[in-house]
Amino acid sequence: MTLDRWIAMILLGICLIYGYAAWFTMDGGLAPFMKRNPIWPSTFPKVLSVLGIIASLITLLGIEKGETKEAEIDYRRIGDYHLGQALMLIGLMVAYALCLRPVGFLLSTSLFLILGSFILGERRWLVMLPVSITATFLVWYLVQEVLGIYMRPLPGLIGG
């Protein structure tokens, strides 16, 4: 089995677990007034799990394949593929997940976007700072004010 099918199989397992959680466990603790809403907090995870399962099955069954090509990744030259950037981004994602509650959404997300773009090679600070801060505030505003889902904006020490 080729590498893309192995990855598709792993993603299919992840999407099945995620879908099970979205369809059967997330809505159990909803308040009674929330159960009458047309869109629940689990709606987006349900859509994501279904789309992920479909995409994984398409790859597993080989529907997307046209002609067979040679492998694009040469494992003998793995050091040529910016492996350090990928590992730093994964570490940054883990740090972001751990810092989200204690540091607050606004600060942790802004720092994640700034440091992530820096790791990927962006060096124009006059572009990075306004874009990441604006994106962070827009996402926080949409989730907090429009959807009505509380997210701690500031660290607990400051009053978040």
Angle at 120 between CA 89 and CA 2, to 5 degrees: 65
Rg of the chain, C-alpha, whole Å? 20
The pLDDT of residue 79: 72
Side-chain-side CA neighbours of 18 within 13 Å: the count stands at: 17
Quote the pLDDT of residue 156: 65
Structure tokens that stand for 33 in this block: 């007034």
Nearest-angstrom CA–CA distance, 119 and 85: 6
Residues listed for the chain: 160
So what's the pLDDT on residue 138?
Answer: 93
Tokens of 69: 């090509």
pLDDT in tens, the chain (160 residues): 678 888 889 999 999 999 898 888 877 777 777 777 777 777 888 899 999 999 999 988 888 776 666 667 767 777 777 788 889 999 999 999 998 888 888 999 999 999 999 998 888 899 899 999 999 999 988 888 888 877 777 776 665 5
Domains of the chain, by residue range, sit at 1-72, 82-160
The structure tokens listed for 118 are 């820096």
